[in-house]
Amino acid sequence: MSGPASISPVLARISQIQAQLGGPADAASVDGTAPPAGTGTFADALASASGGGAPAAAALPSSWSIPWADGPSDSAGVTGGSGASAVDREAPSALDVRWTGAIDAVAAPTGADVVWPVKGTITQGFGPTTCTLEPPATVNGRHYAHYHDGLDIGAPAGSPVRAIAAGTVEFAGRYPDGAMVVRVRHADGSVSLYAHLQPDLDVRAGDTVAAGSLLGRVGMTGHTSGPHLHLEVTVDGHNVDPLKILRSGRLPGGAPAAPSGGSAWSAASPLAASDGKLTPASLDAFDRIAAKIPYHAQIRDAAVRAGIDPLLLASLVKAESGFRAGAVSSAGALGLCQLMPATARSLGVKDPFDPVQNLRAGARYFANNLRIYGRTDLALAAYHDGKGAVAAAGGVPDYPITHRYIDRICSYWTHYREAAA
């Protein structure tokens, strides 16, 4: 570990950037050293903090160019409630952490299970934020207009990215937005995710890694404002603050990796976390392979009306009924989308075996789930088990059949998209 002098340019630039943003003038460093006066580009700061190798400033989009909304992040976009309780404030350790200092080592405290994944500068913390690029979220009953579900660490392109703890790689590849991602499942059941890596990853699904094992290198894949690592940690499907875990040197603990029933399920596709919304690209993809999909005209019509990806709707129909308009399940679910009679009536369906009526109602019902949860896996869980089961579980219910259902639909969706590529 180098001394405070090596991070001085970083801290100086952080102070200058925060002043431009209207943020706090005192950027906290890892060792508590106050930032001295000075100048220099963000690229220079990263080069100093990492020992060189940063690209030229013109080639490195600076993180301070991210559009930030005006006003404090703990109140922006909040609907309902009369102030944050202790529970409300539990998720974010510090609201709107724009800059929290430089990381000058990947070492952890003596005897720790967890190491830092990359050497660089924290450019965005976990929790509510005024960065308008981040999506909305509802956490502990409070709605935030913009919420960052991970920790961003700015570092020069090519910087080594390492596993924060021992575990098994459950995914290594490209996400739908183009980001190269590695996910590692740890012994305590938690999962760490590393995004925006370079395409040539150093691991593949199924590999066993130790704390500090090389996973890949910082890149510019996916939607990113500059070279950085986006780190997420989830426990039972819920995002937690990675910075707390890194500082503690310990995994968050929790339930064992395998859910009850021994299914040991994990999503086969990153699409499980996507929002499933209709886009011009998704419509074009559907049209390229529509001739191979039964009821393609009716599925396209229903998906466009509901605002969802028609390939996702086709995947749901394939899993639910095998494209059989006259299908009836042992529980009494009817038609292509397997609507229960009471649900069909509530959606105005007069003939559940009519493909057009059934598809439009099923698409509308599923689209509402997507709007509520913002994730495909949760929307599918609610479609399969009901919203009450999702609420009671605080996520995807821990039923092997539900996990297999989500896995199957996401697999169909992946195959359709690959065929359309």
For 190-221, letters b (16+ CB in 10 Å) and e give bbbbbbbbbeebbbeeebebebbbebbbbbbb
Determine the Cα–Cα distance for residues 407 and 272; give it in Å rounded to an integer. Answer: 8
Domain finish residue from 199, 218, 248 = 248
What's the chain look like in SS3?
A: CCCHHHHHHHHHHHHHHHHHHCCCCCCCCCCCCCCCCCCCCHHHHHHHHHCCCCCCHHHCCCHHHCCECCCCCCCCCCCCCCCCCCCCCCCCCCCCCCCCEEECCCCCCCCCCCCCCCCEEEEECCEECCECCCCCEEECCEEECCEECCEEEECCCCCEEECCCCEEEEEEEECCCCCEEEEEECCCCCEEEEEEECCCCCCCCCCEECCCCEEEEECCCCCCCCCEEEEEEEECCEEECHHHHHHHCCCCCCCCCCCCCCCCCCCCCHHHHCCCECCHHHHHHHHHHHHHCCCHHHHHHHHHHHCECHHHHHHHHHHHHCCCCCCECCCCCECCCCECHHHHHHCCCCCCCCHHHHHHHHHHHHHHHHHHHCCHHHHHHHHHHCHHHHHHHCCCCCCHHHHHHHHHHHHHHHHHHHHHC
Domain finish residue from 248, 283, 299 = 248
In a domain, 170, yes or no: yes
The pLDDT score that the predictor gives to residue 112 is 53
In a domain, 190, yes or no: yes
In a domain, 31, yes or no: no
Determine the Cα–Cα distance for residues 146 and 95; give it in Å rounded to an integer. Answer: 11
Contacts of 377 (CB under 8 A, 6+ apart): 267, 272, 273, 396, 406, 410
**320 included as an active-site residue:** yes
The CATH number covering residue 277 comes to: 1.10.530.10
Its pTM stands at 0.45
The pLDDT score that the predictor gives to residue 236 is 72
In a domain, 27, yes or no: no
pLDDT in tens, the chain (421 residues): 233 344 444 444 444 444 444 333 333 333 222 233 333 333 333 334 333 333 333 333 333 333 334 333 333 333 222 222 222 223 333 323 333 344 444 444 444 589 999 998 988 899 888 877 777 877 666 777 888 889 999 999 999 999 999 989 888 898 877 899 999 988 888 889 999 999 999 999 888 999 999 999 999 998 888 899 999 998 876 788 999 898 888 888 743 333 333 333 344 466 777 889 999 999 999 999 999 999 999 999 999 999 999 999 999 999 999 999 999 998 899 999 999 999 999 999 999 999 999 999 999 999 999 999 988 999 999 999 999 988 888 888 878 788 889 988 988 998 899 899 8
Q: What separation in angstroms does the CA of 196 have from each of 161, 174, 219, 279?
A: 10, 9, 6, 22
Give the residue numbers spanning the domain of 355. Answer: 270-420
Give me the catalytic one of 134, 170, 232, 320.
320
Residues 221 and 297 both lie in one domain: no
Residues 218 and 127 both lie in one domain: yes
Residues 297 and 168 both lie in one domain: no
**What's the structural domain count of the chain?**
2
Residues 83 and 131 both lie in one domain: yes
The pLDDT score that the predictor gives to residue 139 is 66
Domain finish residue from 213, 248, 283 = 248
Residues 82 and 129 both lie in one domain: yes
Pairing relationship of beta strands 142-144 and 127-128 according to DSSP bridges: unpaired
Residues 182 and 222 both lie in one domain: yes
Note whether 384 and 245 are within 8 A (CB). Answer: no
The CATH number covering residue 171 comes to: 2.70.70.10
Residues 213 and 289 both lie in one domain: no
